[in-house]
Structure 1
């Protein structure tokens, strides 16, 4: 039976600003994503480092247009797009903003400062944060020890908080983060491989450095409604309706045809650094 969110899960997301789905992917799907993450040349060539304020590095690769590679097929799968459609405000088609493979390596993987995704996206000219969402899939286990994501429960109801640079990252005003922590719950989002997290574009979240002996790798895909165009930065993928594929397409993908397609539009290292 195809995966579908229940009304209770949708209500929980709207109330708390996030929703965890254990076992969204099965063991075979996770194994395939992990192998691709480790072996794909396109990911290796297009990954870049961002420093936290302590100088520790987090490696990531970011792309805009999902293709017929295994990551694109997951991003466009019916179970994923249908779930996003239920969680976003409005009824317009769901579009893919961007996806990124986060590679937080043992001992050296850096922290991410407190921030809201909409704290970035507001600068691109997107007007409606309720029409934007991020979806994290755990490729490896995420624990407190290896720097799992932390969220401030219900902080999406605060609205957008001012952001500024901290190291090579953009972070939220710590004054408002501290205000939020006085009355709202801090949640460590520990995930098993294949677990999934939906989180609102305005929820405050961060992750600490990976001081463990195990890597923390995750895929994070951001989605947008077609009715929420960017007025400042041109990002065609974010207003192009997704063409969904069956859920089993990920496992049926022919590895010989290439894992991440050469046509994938990656964010360049130069562009990432220029955003400073």
Structure 2
């Protein structure tokens, strides 16, 4: 453990992607930035997500896992001008991802994952590029920003990652227990070599991770829900040849960090292009 580079950092107004931050991302495949969103910013976000009718209207249940549990999700292709759009377009999110991935990025998707108390299901081991490869993205020049809307703990099914697993390259993904995930025989061997980390987070903490990092989460057996917002980015140079159902390169208009707190219409859903789950080959949904 002591031989690993630390991937844990704390946000401040003068936060920068320094050489140490880059080394941690390149070696471990991810960085955690504590308190990336302030208490006020996360309060505004949580209120908007809980009260927005557009989110509720476009949310859907993923197919039950082998233990019968389900998780709800809502996904959209363009950031828009609401509070979630301001977060995705902010310098401390999009600007940080550009530095980590080494070039201009654009918004690929954002999704709200709703793992509710006592019912939220698990997610099996997978790589995001295990899916996006099939959406025509030639290079794994992609990454995701995982924002804790609620406290994420082992009890309510926090994210788990295998440190440095992005160095493995893309692993074959198969249908496993109602989900599409990485070849478990291979993952079982990988787990004997790479270190597992439970990414426990407070509301407002952010995790930036490479698209080939293996990750999973357990079901939520606690009395506390676990909602997270995950915004994924693609390098502008990695324009997919298969544009369905996700967007081709669309210039991202970044905004100052102050735009999050100063957002004038926190629930403006215009132009977000919500995903119809029937068109997404990467997920299985409950059609009952």
| TM-score band, normalised by shorter chain | over 0.9
- State whether structure 2 residue 278 is matched by structure 1 residue 267: no
Q: RMSD across aligned C-alpha pairs, in angstroms?
A: 1.6
Taking the aligned partners of 1:96 and 1:122, their CA distance within structure 2 comes to 17
Q: Which residue of 2 aligns with 1:146?
A: 156
Question: Structure 1 residues 106 and 190 mapped into 2: Cα distance closer, same or farther (>3 Å)?
Answer: same
Native 8 Å contact 1:2 1:79 kept in 2: no
Q: TM-score w.r.t. structure 1 length?
A: 0.94
Deviation at 1:10, TM superposition (A): 1.2
- State whether structure 2 residue 179 is matched by structure 1 residue 169: yes
Question: Structure 1 residues 238 and 95 mapped into 2: Cα distance closer, same or farther (>3 Å)?
Answer: farther
Deviation at 1:238, TM superposition (A): 4.3
Number of residue pairs aligned between Structure 1 and Structure 2: 271
Question: Structure 1 residues 132 and 115 mapped into 2: Cα distance closer, same or farther (>3 Å)?
Answer: same
Question: Structure 1 residues 175 and 236 mapped into 2: Cα distance closer, same or farther (>3 Å)?
Answer: closer
| Most deviating of 77-86 and 135-144 | 77-86
Structure 1 unmatched runs, 5+? none
**Aligned with residue 19 of structure 1, among 4, 10, 31:** 31
Q: State the secondary structure of the residue aligned to 1:170.
A: strand
The structure with more helix, counted as a fraction of residues: 1
Q: State the secondary structure of the residue aligned to 1:270.
A: helix
| Most deviating of 108-117 and 225-234 | 225-234
Q: TM-score w.r.t. structure 2 length?
A: 0.90
Taking the aligned partners of 2:262 and 2:189, their CA distance within structure 1 comes to 48
Taking the aligned partners of 1:70 and 1:113, their CA distance within structure 2 comes to 30
Q: Which residue of 2 aligns with 1:181?
A: 191
Taking the aligned partners of 1:73 and 1:250, their CA distance within structure 2 comes to 5
| Most deviating of 174-183 and 106-115 | 174-183
Structure 2 counterparts to residues 58-137 of structure 1, below 5 A: 58-89=71-102, 91=103, 93-129=104-140, 131-137=141-147
- State whether structure 2 residue 65 is matched by structure 1 residue 52: yes
Native 8 Å contact 2:245 2:279 kept in 1: no
Deviation at 1:269, TM superposition (A): 3.5
- State whether structure 2 residue 44 is matched by structure 1 residue 36: no
Native 8 Å contact 1:149 1:207 kept in 2: yes
Q: State the secondary structure of the residue aligned to 2:131.
A: helix
Question: Structure 1 residues 119 and 146 mapped into 2: Cα distance closer, same or farther (>3 Å)?
Answer: same
Q: State the secondary structure of the residue aligned to 1:9.
A: helix
Structure 2 unmatched runs, 5+? 1-12
Deviation at 1:274, TM superposition (A): 8.6
Taking the aligned partners of 1:188 and 1:26, their CA distance within structure 2 comes to 23
- State whether structure 2 residue 258 is matched by structure 1 residue 248: yes
Taking the aligned partners of 1:29 and 1:65, their CA distance within structure 2 comes to 21
